[in-house]
Amino acid sequence: MGHCGGVASYVDPEGEYERDSDYISTRITADGRDGYAVEPGRYRLVAARACPWANRAIIVRRLLGLEDVLSLGLCGPTHDKRSWTFDLDPGGVDPVLKIPRLQDAYFKRDPGYEKGITVPAMVDVQSGAVVTNDFAQITLDLSTEWTQYHREGAPDLYPEALRAEIDEVAQRIYTEVNNGVYRAGFAGSQEAYESAYDRLFAALDWLSERLAKQRYLVGDTITEADVRLFTTLARFDAVYHGHFKCNRNKLTELPVLWAYARDLFQTPGFGDTIDFVQIKQHYYLVHTDINPTHIVPKGPDLSTWLTPHGREELGGKPFGDGTPPGPPGDGERVPAEHSASRRP
């Protein structure tokens, strides 16, 4: 089954949504201790712009400037019961891996593979086999194991001195926010839904309070924690507010989080990875149990993403002593009509 970041998700007898987190945990490291050493051109990051878990890896690859050493394969916004597919590519085949479905790379690794076919996945180009789909570890390893190939001026997204705090904040964001919206959206009972809703908004209130006084979640520069929160906030009004019934407030009605989200959106490497059209198509077309009509909503108005946010007053520098990444490379730009744009 094609999944967005979660391996196998299910609803328990009480109607509670559970995300199985049993991933292929092989790591790609500088010393190659798991049998896969960091090497330019050896791996392909397979992702989908629609998926928040894959979106993180796309952002981190961009921020660190790894485009020339780690190629990017993009699946389309929808998948069938079996697998994500390369329907954006000519002939529906990934031009590097030469496969139509991501499941082919999973079966290359394990012919009897029975878990979810998830993005993001790191694929060994030569063998065509998936190395890992552990989305949380993938981005940390891009920051810590691929340092030899980071661009000049790349940010340290996982600074050693702040790792304990980043891990703690990121864990709460994962359980309460990243996964919290799914817990509300896929709840199988009124009670489970209301409990999920309360937990989600309690966490968003906690984040609002934390971010009222500081520009970023941990320290005074962008870290892994900000990347993890951003991909959920970017999808909040377009999908989670309506589709997943997370409707106490829109993001645009939470002043601190809305300013914070706009600040990141307007930072190179963040907003330029967001494809709102694919995001909406993914959720509203794939989740037929929640949206049987397949109607994709027209809104919301996206022009407000580019309005001034005023967060500079809190100090902090997005890239510390580093520099922003350059513009996205050829073939990796989100079409203008799929992104936020100022109204003419």
Question: What does the block give as tokens for 256?
Answer: 């601190």
Structure confidence at residue 251 as a pLDDT band (50, 70, 90): very high
Q: For residue 3, what pLDDT band results from cuts at 50, 70 and 90?
A: low
Helix (H, G, I), strand (E, B) or coil at 335: coil
Please indicate whether residue 75 is annotated as part of the active site: no
Select which of 106, 182, 216, 283 is catalytic.
Answer: 182
Res 82: pLDDT? 81
What is the C-alpha separation between 201 and 177, in angstroms, rounded?
8
Gyration radius of the chain over CA positions: 19
Mean pLDDT along residues 260-286: 97
Output the pLDDT for position 1. 46
Tens digit of pLDDT for each residue in 121-152?
999 999 999 999 999 999 999 999 999 999 99
Predicted pLDDT of residue 10: 59
Determine whether 51 is an active site residue: yes
Instruction: Dump strand ranges (E) for the chain.
Output: 2-4, 9-11, 17-19, 43-47, 71-74, 117-119, 121-124, 129-132
Q: Give pLDDT tens digits for 44-93.
A: 999 999 999 999 999 999 999 999 999 999 999 998 888 999 999 999 99
Which member of 17, 23, 43, 51 is catalytic?
Answer: 51
What distance in Å separates the CA atoms of residue 286 and residue 41, rounded to the nearest whole number? 33
Q: Tell me the C-alpha distance between 77 and 68, whole Å.
A: 24
What's the mean pLDDT in 183-194?
Answer: 96
pLDDT value of residue 307: 96
What is the CB neighbour count within 10 angstroms for residue 149? Answer: 17
Q: What percent of the chain has pLDDT over 90?
A: 88
Angle made by CA atoms 224, 226, 227, in degrees to the nearest 5: 65
Confidence of residue 21 (pLDDT cuts 50, 70, 90): low
Where do the domains of the chain lie, and which CATH numbers do they carry? 2-149 (3.40.30.10), 160-338 (1.20.1050.10)
Look over the chain and give the mean of its residue pLDDT values, rounded to a whole number. Answer: 94
Among 12-21, 66-75, 301-310, 323-332, the minimum mean pLDDT is found in 12-21
The confidence band for 7, taking pLDDT boundaries of 50, 70 and 90, is very low
The answer to whether 258 is annotated as binding is no
- The stretch 9-34 carries a mean pLDDT of 82
Greatest extent of the chain over all pairs of C-alpha atoms, in Å: 55
Global confidence as pTM: 0.95
